[in-house]
Amino acid sequence: MQANRKHTAIHYGGYLVIVMLVTSFFLLFPHVCIYSKNASPEDSIWVKKQLKRMRDSPGMDPRRMLVISQQILDFSNKADYAPGKVIALMCMGSANGQELGETKTAINEYLQAIAICKAHKYTKNEATSLLVLGQMYDRLGIFDKAFASYQEAVDLYYGMKDSSMVASGYKYFGASLKSAGHIQEAVKYHLRALELNERLHNAVELEYNYEEIGSAYAAMKDYKHAFYYLLGAVRKATELNDTTFDVYQSLATCYKIAGKFDSAKYYYAKSLHVAIATNDKEDEGNTLLELGSLYLEQNKLKEAEEYEKRGLAIAIEVSNLEYIQVSTFTLAEIYAAGKNFAKAYEYSVKASVLKDSMTDINKQKAITEMQVRFDVKEVEQKNLTLEKENSFQKVKLQRKDILLYGGGAFLLLLASSGFLLLRHRKLKANQKLMELEQKQLLAQINPHFIFNCLNSIQQFVVQNDTINANRYLADFAMLMRQTLNNSKDGIISLSREIEYLENYLSFEHMRFEDKFTYSIACDQEINTDDTEIPSMIIQPFVENAIRHGLCSLQTRMGILKISFYIRDKFLYCEVDDNGIGIEEAKSIRQKGFIKYQSHGMDLTQRRLALVSKMHSEDYKITIVNKTGADGQAEGTTIIIKFPYQA
């Protein structure tokens, strides 16, 4: 039994924010009055007082901090004072993200602060904001964006030659990689942080680095290296006269797994002593439960029962549902081993009820996190659209200036105008392509589809159908992740596309209750890993075939076939169905029997046409209406033609 630990690298982020914000206040504080052109003397004095109050009160109530920060932001917007905007937005992001749990709001505030920092070259505050933004993405499980934020922050700190903060960036990068399950990569980054901190003689950070590396090796079951680094963390903590609960716990767990129970008891006892000394009830309860489990493995039932009951009492005191469930289950095992079957049954029933409660809580949490991630994506898309509009406006202004000041040189004017015209057309074409890609993404994960999926998940939860609820939720989460990952890459491998289609068809097959069968075939001569195609091309046609062709069948089972093959040095994809046909589907839609209208096919055709024009490559879509001998519709075949290089 290993309960979830609450001490992670992300929790150190709060200290980083406080240190860096206080530094920012000291750096920017003297300039508030100097550059605030529209501010009155009374306003400047008030701002100075508010900054000093926040600088001197790192433990200020977060809601009060939000009020003051909003006032500073309003003043800074009025006076067009960029440093004040940055400080206010960073403080608001810290309060919302670190204290109030409003992660989506905090992300938007940090993104605004970063944009201002980039425009005015406030490199230090930009790096700090990127580091905290990475932690926000990490908390939501959006690891690709977390990695990108950490890398950008590290690059900025390298440019400033700030080795200490480079090491901190590596530390957070490593923690994020570990959370994402990339443990070997996490070790590499923690080792880089360790090397830098050894050069800087930073004993506090070295203790943390040793602990994280040791824990990572333990997770990989490399106990030789795990013991080396964890014992190194103990040595560093001893030098600092520090309490090392997490290190003792990790060491005890390693010794337990390695079968060295006496050493495991020794370090569990030390971690229990630290928990009691620091009055940390959750740590104390967790350690007692670990000791109970350890004694159970040795079949020392009396000691196991004593520790588990003490741990259960503390778990009830602090209302930790997870610890309560773990302890009741362990007690059931202890009583069963002692042949006290009445008590074993009693605690087994309690553990089962608690497990069901935790399952419901975790499901609700997963749905909530999914909604937050979707909201974050929506906010980022809005910000991206605004940035594109600003970029386009800047290009127009640059063109106007060139025309204004280049009137004296006719040939230069013609050359400049021609260059700008070509650049404008290219920007317009790229902008149109990006707009089509965004619309296509929204067409794939439209609110109607998400609403139906969440309703289905909720129905399984209400019916207490745990198996189908978990399966449905896992498939839906995987489909959303693949859709978002594929959408950010303009070109993906054919193997990724086939995997995505498999998951999507499996999901739709389950949703429409076996109304159709499907198959995906690919010629053996095609290397699917090396073959690349534009992303988000095939799925809209598959969706159209299912929703408008196969799901309207009344008298026969629907059949959907997807095949990939090479002809005349081109890659072809066929989407073939035996549905009601295009004309009948149009007739049903016109009569109003289908409220939902898919725009995916139209967007895909427009996008491929634009890509063909931009890159002078041959992309083509052919639609074939299949009819029988009697002239009746027998389905539709979509043939998509891609350029192919062997």
Q: Is residue 489 part of a domain?
A: yes
Task: Give the burial string for 197-218 (b: 16+ CB within 10 Å, else e).
Answer: beeeebeebbbbbbbbbbbbbb
- The DSSP bridge pattern shows strands 516-522 and 558-567 to be parallel
CA distance 535 to 488: 9
DSSP secondary-structure letter at 222? -
Length of the chain as a residue count: 646
Q: Is residue 590 part of a domain?
A: yes
At residue 2, the pLDDT reads 43
Domain ranges, residue 16 = 1-160
Beta bridge partners, 623, equal 638
CA distance 225 to 237: 18
Q: Give 637's contacts (C-beta < 8 A, 6+ positions apart).
A: 574, 575, 576, 577, 623, 624, 626
Q: Is residue 11 part of a domain?
A: yes
CA distance 50 to 68: 7
Q: Is residue 218 part of a domain?
A: no
Domain end call among 116, 142, 160: 160
At residue 383, the pLDDT reads 57
Q: Is residue 554 part of a domain?
A: yes
The three-class DSSP label of residue 282 is helix
Burial bucket for residue 474 (CB in 10 Å: 0-12, 13-18, 19+): exposed
CA distance 436 to 534: 13
Domain end call among 109, 128, 160: 160
Number of domains, the chain: 2
Q: Is residue 546 part of a domain?
A: yes
DSSP secondary-structure letter at 12? G
Torsion, CA 421, CA 427, CA 429, CA 434, rounded to 10:
-170
At residue 95, the pLDDT reads 84
Q: Is residue 615 part of a domain?
A: yes
CA distance 480 to 141: 13
CA distance 54 to 42: 19
User: Which residue shows structure tokens 């079957």?
Assistant: 341
307, 289 contact by CB (below 8 A)? yes
Domain end call among 160, 191, 218: 160
The three-class DSSP label of residue 595 is coil
Distances 133 to 68, 123, 143, 262 between C-alpha atoms, Å:
22, 15, 11, 43
248, 231 contact by CB (below 8 A)? no
Task: Give the domain CATH number at 561.
Answer: 3.30.565.10
State pTM to two decimals. 0.50
Looking at this protein, which amino acid is placed at residue 71?
Q
Task: Give the domain CATH number at 120.
Answer: 1.25.40
φ/ψ (deg, to 5) at 229? -75, -35
Q: What is the mean pLDDT of each run of 10 residues along the chain (646 residues)?
A: 41 45 45 46 60 65 83 84 85 82 86 92 91 87 89 92 91 90 91 91 87 87 87 83 79 84 88 88 87 87 88 83 80 83 76 62 52 54 58 61 60 61 58 50 54 74 80 81 77 90 85 84 92 85 86 87 92 93 78 53 71 72 86 89 83
CA distance 633 to 585: 11
Q: Is residue 305 part of a domain?
A: no
621, 574 contact by CB (below 8 A)? no
Looking at this protein, which amino acid is placed at residue 246?
D
At residue 219, the pLDDT reads 84
443, 599 contact by CB (below 8 A)? yes
User: Which residue shows structure tokens 């106990």?
Assistant: 223
